[in-house]
Amino acid sequence: MPVSVPTGLSPLDSILPDEPLLMMGAGPVPIPHRVAQANSIVINHLGDTMSQVIEQVKSMSRYVFQTESSRIMGVAGPGSAAMEMAVINLVCPGMKVLAICNGFFSDRLAEMAERVDAEVVCLKVPDGVTADPDEVREAIAKHRPAVITLVQGETSNTVLNRHLPEICRLARKHDCLVIVDAVCTLSTMPFEMDHWGVDAVITGGQKGLASIPGVSLVAFSERAWDHIRAREDRLRHWCLDAKLAHRFWNEKAYHYTAPVSGVLALHEALRLICRETLEVRFERHLRCSTALQSGIESMGLSLYTKPRDRLNSVVGINVPEGVESRRLLTHMSGVHRVEISGSFGLDIVRIGQMGEQSRSHHIFRTLHALGASLYALGVPVDIPAGVAALESTLDAYIFDGPG
Ligand SMILES: *Cc1c(COP(=O)(O)O)cnc(C)c1O
């Protein structure tokens, strides 16, 4: 036997921290107990139990996506696999694609379209601001794309594309399909697939939905499905071929072995959303994120994105001068057991407000951990002022509503 058994292996218990860290970064997010429990079960991927689960996952997803479409499919893979599934099934080689590029994740959609040999035009949106519908209108008139790709929320620089409904309307007027990445935003803020006329929506498990990473969802409109059905070329990707996946998700036939535990976890995450209702869930996210933002600012820190274009699902904080973000993150997780995220290239740290992260006990602990860690690193932040602002903003919502 040429390869010998590895020595010095540690059991998982001795690798994991004694107490789990509070996951307050840009994903993965903490999962509810019911989701964790469901994730520990394995069932037959083609049995009757699984069919009932799949039917419910689809009907709950229709509610969460706000669509009547029956073309909803799970994907064994990260949010990026769902992005790729939307792109490769709707974009044919040589097709003109307008990619609205706000940052890291919207750039990824553009790259995926390039990789299937589309002719991709990037509309570069300056960092920190929302895409301008007038510029999108001009770009559509000039380039006549067949497909537009964009994100609802750009997690990387904490920008919200708040003109998304208008951009979808423009696309529709020009008979152009729209692919929207709603990975971090879905179920944290309004999204209306049918009403806005979105043709493909993508979400991951580990962000807004508060499920596990690695099992994602994609929904296609009937218009998108007509396009997929009419395609005669053979896709290069077998796993991500929507026509093949459709057999499992709508016809109870085998495609590949579905990630059954992850689908069960997703079922529970969706069920908790349905039980809470979208209205209440949006309100909870808005209230917690607004209160957290106010606490951060009152402590003496500044936020990266201006209020108008600010994403509430992920809050970006400018790192104070003289502080190395990595040291801040290490201090927060090492001393306070709270994990938040750095960023890809910008001098910000990011706190997530997705799913279970938007709970008052979690945001108090996180704000305190942030303040105390900065204080320890020599930044004179006013922790009591921050905590007081957090408390009074939460209170204002309880007694007066969001105003
Ligand atoms: C996290 C994220 C993704 C990628 O999800 P993965 O599961 O890491 O592949 C895509 N888009 C947005 C907006 C995200 O926040």
Q: What's the confidence (pLDDT) of residue 220? A: 98
* 234 DSSP 8-state letter: P
Q: Any residues with Cβ below 6 Å from ligand 1, and which?
A: 27, 78-80, 105, 151, 155, 181, 183-184, 204, 207, 213
* Ligand 1 centroid distance, CA of 81 (Å): 9
Report the nearest-CA residue for atom 6 of ligand 1.
79
Q: Which of 13-22, 107-116, 281-290 shows the lowest per-residue confidence on average (mean pLDDT)?
A: 13-22
Q: Is the pLDDT of residue 65 over 70?
A: yes
Instruction: Ligand 1 pocket test: pick from 101, 105, 109, 159 the residue with the most ligand atoms within 8 Å of its Cβ.
Output: 105
pLDDT tens-digit readout, 248-288:
999 999 999 999 999 999 999 999 999 999 999 999 999 99
Q: Ligand 1 centroid vs 385 CA: distance in angstroms?
A: 34
Q: Can you give the pLDDT at residue 397?
A: 75
- Ligand 1 atom closest to the Cα of residue 156 is 15
Q: Is residue 114 helix, strand or coil?
A: helix
Closest ligand 1 atom to residue 205 Cα is: 7
Mutate to test the pocket of ligand 1, among 184, 189, 211, 343 (most ligand atoms within 8 A of CB): 184
> If you search the block for the tokens 């991500």, which residue do you land on?
240
pLDDT in tens, 117-166: 999 999 999 999 999 999 999 999 999 999 999 999 999 999 999 999 99
Cα(155) to ligand 1 centroid in Å equals 8
Cβ neighbours of residue 74 under 8 Å, at least 6 residues apart? Answer: 57, 215, 216, 217, 249, 258, 259, 263, 266
Distance 144 CA to ligand 1 centre (A): 28
**What's the whole-model pTM score?**
0.96
Taking the CA atoms of residue 99, residue 104, residue 105 and residue 109 in that order, the dihedral angle to the nearest 10 degrees is 40
- Per-residue pLDDT averaged across 60-79, rounded? 98
Burial 89-112, CB ≥16 within 10 A → b, else e: bbbbeebbbbbbbbbbbbbbbbeb
Å from CA of 78 to ligand 1 middle: 7
pLDDT in tens, 228-245: 999 999 999 999 999 999
Give the Å distance between the CA of 26 and the centre of ligand 1: 9
Helices vs. strands in the chain: H and E counts, helices first: 15, 13
Which numbered atom of ligand 1 lies nearest the CA of 206? 7
**Confidence label for 1 from pLDDT (cuts 50, 70 and 90):** confident
